[in-house]
Amino acid sequence: MGLANCRVQCSLTDNARIFSLIALNTGALTAFARSPADQIRADAERLSHFVLEMQRCFLLRLCKELAPGNVSFVQFFLLAFLDQKEVLTMSAIAKKMGHTTAAASGLVARLENLDYVMRSVAPDDRRKVMVCITPKGSALVRRIREEVVGNLMKVLEHLTPDEQKAWLQIYTKIYDYCQSK
């Protein structure tokens, strides 16, 4: 069939370029002509929807748990990080949280007022402020983590064993990438 007998139609549908070659008296042949970059973009947009929806699902429950103690998500993430370490300097906290030292200090002060963390000075350098989590703070982190584990177990029940393994492998890769940043 020569080009003289064809007409090309191009339309955009759901972020996908659809090209139709319509040959006279032969019907239509449709192909998706996406560049790899377009496909990655479309997949990323779809994943962003999933991530935001999953966060909404899980974080709404966390919000109910955190609200009685007046702990924000940022404060909780700091507590969870502190729960994995023995003690951190204020500058290490600022770096981990992506805040200035002054902003990190305010974050720590609010948690200290709730008895979730404790500040002290470093014995070798009194200018260094050291922060550690208290037993009350660790208990909050454990309670929230148990809530997350329970929610994830409900999700995992809807997956086959192979899907569960694949999900864990993918999330491990994503986690490792995020930790390297």
CA distance 37 to 118: 49
Please state, in angstroms and as integers, the Cα–Cα distance from residue 1 to each residue in 6, 26, 29, following that order: 8, 10, 13
pLDDT at position 69 is 64
Contacts of 119 (CB under 8 A, 6+ apart): 108, 112, 129, 130, 131
The pLDDT tens digits of the residues spanning 62-120 come to 767 677 767 888 898 899 999 998 899 999 999 988 889 899 999 999 999 999 999 99
Taking the domain 70-142, which CATH number applies?
A: 1.10.10.10
Q: What is the pTM of this model?
A: 0.68
More confident residue, 12 or 36: 36
According to DSSP, residue 36 is labeled H
Domains in the chain: boundaries: 1-33, 70-142
Are 116 and 137 in contact, with CB atoms under 8 Å apart? yes
pLDDT at position 180 is 86
The pLDDT tens digits of the residues spanning 135-179 come to 999 999 998 888 888 888 998 999 999 999 999 999 999 999 988
Q: Residue 53: in which H helix or E strand, if any?
A: helix 36-66
Residue 22: pLDDT above 80? no
- Of the ranges 7-16, 124-133, 154-163, which one carries the lowest mean pLDDT score? 7-16
